[in-house]
Amino acid sequence: MRTVFWENNELKMIDQRILPGRFEVLSYRGHKDVAHAITDMVVRGAPAIGAAAAFGLALAGFESASSSTSGLLADLGAASATLKAARPTAVNLAWALDRVMRTAYSVNSSADDMRAAVLNEAQKLADEDVEINKRMAEHGAALINDGDTIIHHCNTGALATVDWGTALGVIRTAHEQGKKIHVLVDETRPRLQGARLTAWELEQYGIPYEIISDNTAGYFLKAGKVQKCFVGSDRTAANGDVANKIGTYMLALAAFDNGVPFYPVVPTSTVDLSLAHGNLIPIEERNPQEVLGLEFEGQRVAPKNAKARNIAFDVTPNRLVTGIVTENGVAYPPFEASLKKLVENKP
């Protein structure tokens, strides 16, 4: 089933906070609740966040009591601002909302027609995400050889998208092609998306894996036990700098030092050509309790009065990136030229 989907005039989303212990689908009827769900990471992963926000805007249309197109546009604009503030780093969030708002502005008939158009565009965006992921997966799987061991950071599978996945979708496709692969899964602290979500997905697909602590990756890379690194991206700058889950930069450094190819898998909607380099990407800092609340054998790890910083993303500079996999092909350095061509679908 899809991570994010519309059913019976409600937005349905898999609650990713409680996996793998429980599988539960939550329902939403208001855009503010969707914004809170995005902030609280009920849904996460840039493509899934974008689809959830698009459907959240559709909910806002049905929430609005306005009978005029101008009044409905004002309500949709306010809802869009609320949803955009939920997760600032993931560019798909703003991209999806802006796309749906352009559709709303294009309707010149009735408010009800506008509501229908907004919902239709959100559904179209979600459907396109699945097809884009499968195209990316084909391009990326060609980079994987039979027998490869791959390190993967965070979660980039079906749970991070509407369906199939980005980097994990590449791995899944290689497996379905019959390639015998093995995945080393970074725990991805502090929210442990790797240990909780990626491992759970790999079990569903029957792909062999082992969970490793984030700081073990360097050992395996230096020992020559890894052939590829695949990660996702929440925003990629025009020069190929990649913002992804915290810890990606350290993984890229270790991979580069040991000559192991490092590939972000990035839908072109995640490439922000308006940003010349990664230092311009806004970086989210989350609640310190996500760090301080970690437990070991049922006991709190940190002292009671401890303080913490909880940076959610880091930026990997393009010099550490071997290639960037998109649905339109693989971009190689110099990324300023190759990424722009692929975003514009001019391979």
Reading the chain (347 residues) residue by residue, the pLDDT tens digits are: 899 999 999 999 999 999 999 999 999 999 999 999 999 999 999 999 999 999 999 999 999 999 999 999 999 999 999 999 999 887 899 999 999 999 999 998 999 999 999 999 999 999 999 999 999 999 999 999 999 999 999 999 999 999 999 999 999 999 999 999 999 999 999 999 999 999 999 999 999 999 999 999 999 999 999 999 999 999 999 999 999 999 999 999 999 999 999 999 999 999 999 999 999 999 999 999 999 999 999 999 999 999 999 999 999 999 999 999 999 999 999 999 999 999 998 65
Structure-block tokens of residue 323: 């290639």
Q: What does DSSP say about strands 149-152 and 182-186: parallel, antiparallel, or unpaired?
A: parallel
Identify the three-state secondary structure at position 177.
coil
Secondary-structure percent of the chain, ordered helix, strand, coil, rounded to 5: 45, 20, 35
Identify the three-state secondary structure at position 101.
helix
Cα–Cα distance, 201 to 194 (Å, whole number): 10
Say which residues have a Cβ less than 8 Å from residue 284's Cβ, sequence separation at least 6.
87, 88, 89, 311, 312, 313
Q: Are 137 and 172 in contact (CB under 8 A)?
A: yes
Which residues are marked as active site? Answer: 234
- pLDDT for res 91: 86
Cα–Cα distance, 152 to 167 (Å, whole number): 8
Strand partners, 215: none
Domains of the chain: 4-133 (1.20.120.420), 137-343 (3.40.50.10470)
Q: Are 193 and 234 in contact (CB under 8 A)?
A: no
Phi first, then psi: give them for residue 184, nearest 5 degrees: -95, 120
Q: Tell me: cis bond preceding 20? Omega within 30 of 0 counts.
A: yes
